[in-house]
Amino acid sequence: MKLRNIAIIAHVDHGKTTLIDVLLKQSGSFRDNQRTEERMMDSNDLERERGITILAKVTSLVWKDTRINIVDTPGHADFGGEVERILHMVDGAIILVDASEGPMPQTKFVLSKALKIGLKPIVAINKIDKPDERHDDVLNEVFDLFSALEANHEQLDFPVLYGSAKQGWMAMEPTGPKESVGPLLDLVVEHVSAPTVRPGPFRLLATTIQADPFLGRILTGRIASGTATPNMSVHAISRDGKVIERGRISKVLAFRGLERQAIEAGVAGDIVSIAGLQEATVADTLADPSVTEPIAAQPIDPPTLSMTFKVNDGPLAGQDGDKVQSRVIRARLLKEAEGNVALQVRETGDADAFEVSGRGELQLAILIETMRREGFELNVGRPHVVYQIDENGDRHEPIEEVIIDVDDEYSGNVVQKLQERRADLIEMRPSGHGRTRLVFHAPTRGLIGYQSELMSDTRGTAIFNRLFFEYGPHKGEISSRHTGVLISNGDGDSVAYALWKLEDRGPMLIEPGVKVYEGMIVGEHTRGNDLAVNVLKGKQLTNIRSAGKDEAVALTTPIKLTLEKALSYINDDELVEVTPKSIRLRKAHLDPHERKRAERAKGSDAA
């Protein structure tokens, strides 16, 4: 059977997972009466809740006499490590673009990687049914983007389709015919070249890794040459040519629809999964023992943010989760880093703390959320950028390209706030009726916590996108949070009367009846300094009539912090305590005397 391997590239929420649903249904991968879920490729609970693709996944369908392997790529730059590896398994790419929004930063990020390795793209303009669609302008923007990314003449001569994945059609013209996605599959067979097969023994570059409770480590990649069969002897070669391990293939699995099935033999050009090896990982070459040269693997962009993961040492530790020991946390982080090449884990001087570096806040927040759902308890510090030092000893920091679509009335406020965070305004132009598109180059550390502030400033109407741009010279000091916090001065359960009396001091972060402890952050102070408060004090009940006896306690709704907001809210001397049931904020030093000592030490160091 003829083979085609393609990736679907799109920005977040431009409809790639929905399109794959339609392709699978219309190609006959399911029976007419078979029950299927919406967004079938988003198998992870977090992916379904957030509506984003986190892990790259492969599916397969048969169209006429051709098997088409399709890779669904993540749409966030934070998961770019997945994207870079996956593009080496395919020979073509479908660039899916929203007919209203046009090409966005993540489209640009993945497309630049695809063009660099010579993939021939097909452009599909999706959501043509939207009332504000502007397909002609979007097509021009896509062409300009290809030119800016230095596409060659063959890549610039891309075919274009229009359609609506939601309505289940693609056609050569925006007006239809609105029948099926068949024209897209026909174009894939015609436009994308068959996989290049080299003569010689078996070789495969591992591009993704999974752990299976029954089969152990499963490595997925495209067979570059030869065939893979169960019980065959192979060895794994690292990128620098060292043999890591020798072993046998226990199973060869291929993708058939959404299922992975065991097959007799994997042929050159097909995307398969190999089970049986214990130490081989991503970017290693699995090969016949006679092969000594590894397949060249793409270097990965460096991590830009790091966070400290610590053992939960608070008074409430161990009450919600069952995985609290440092050795368990260490093993889990190392297991994550093994399968995710965009993540790095380093030991620190403290045996109970680990430094985890990644691509961005979202990637690290997803890791923390996954761990808390698995029963882990941990303390997490404020995210810090990863600096680079040049040969002259000068510090360079990650700079990001920020694109914000905002209503005209709020654009001045957005520009002012970002310039306070050391961002440079690069471009300002209209982006539809009453909207402005702002493009900035901003230091990553200035963007920590900015998204929630932007949503407040623009009444939730702004669209915020960011993408790693380059390492640039250090931009100088950036002020963090302007307010102090209210800190509990005792252990117990919070009382409504005490919270009500403290509302003049600032908005609360907790409700009545919540367990608190000394050093835990319970609210935000309206002034710049921190204040220790008593949230445990109830109303004095005596037999003497008091003037305030009939006061009604009417509490303002407390600020609810999500995990991402909590991570961006804290200062350097504060931690987020994460458990399966709670997200709490606390000071790094719970004892007030220790806090004062730490402040004095910090002041003397600065002097």
Q: Among 194, 141, 184, which residue's Cα sits nearest to residue 160?
A: 184
Q: Cβ-count burial of 197 within 10 angstroms (0-12 exposed, 13-18 middle, 19+ buried)? A: middle
| C-alpha–C-alpha distance, residues 149 and 438, integer Å | 20
| 6 annotated as belonging to a binding site for a ligand | no
- Reduced to 3 states (helix: H, G, I; strand: E, B; else coil), residue 422 is coil
| C-alpha–C-alpha distance, residues 7 and 170, integer Å | 17
| 17 annotated as belonging to a binding site for a ligand | yes
Q: Cβ-count burial of 375 within 10 angstroms (0-12 exposed, 13-18 middle, 19+ buried)? A: middle
- Reduced to 3 states (helix: H, G, I; strand: E, B; else coil), residue 307 is strand
Q: Among 567, 591, 563, 584, which residue's Cα sits nearest to residue 510?
A: 584
Question: Do 414 and 438 form a contact (C-beta atoms < 8 A)?
Answer: yes
| 129 annotated as belonging to a binding site for a ligand | yes
| 28 annotated as belonging to a binding site for a ligand | no
| C-alpha–C-alpha distance, residues 599 and 176, integer Å | 68
- Burial call 517-528: b when 16+ CB within 10 Å, e when fewer: bbbbbbbbbeee
Structure tokens at 46: 């977090």
Whether the bond between 507 and the residue before it is cis, its omega within 30 degrees of 0, is no
Residue 311 neighbours by CB distance under 10 Å: 21
User: Which residues face 492 on adjacent strands?
Assistant: 516
Structure tokens at 348: 């620190």
Structure tokens at 427: 């471009």
| 381 annotated as belonging to a binding site for a ligand | no
How far lies 287's CA from each of 42, 65, 254, in Å? Answer: 32, 30, 18
Whats the size of the chain, residue-wise? 607
Rounded to 5, what percent of the chain is helix, strand, coil? Answer: 25, 30, 45
| 14 annotated as belonging to a binding site for a ligand | yes
| C-alpha–C-alpha distance, residues 97 and 108, integer Å | 11
Residues marked as binding for GTP?
A: 13-18, 126-129
Annotated binding residues = 13-18, 126-129
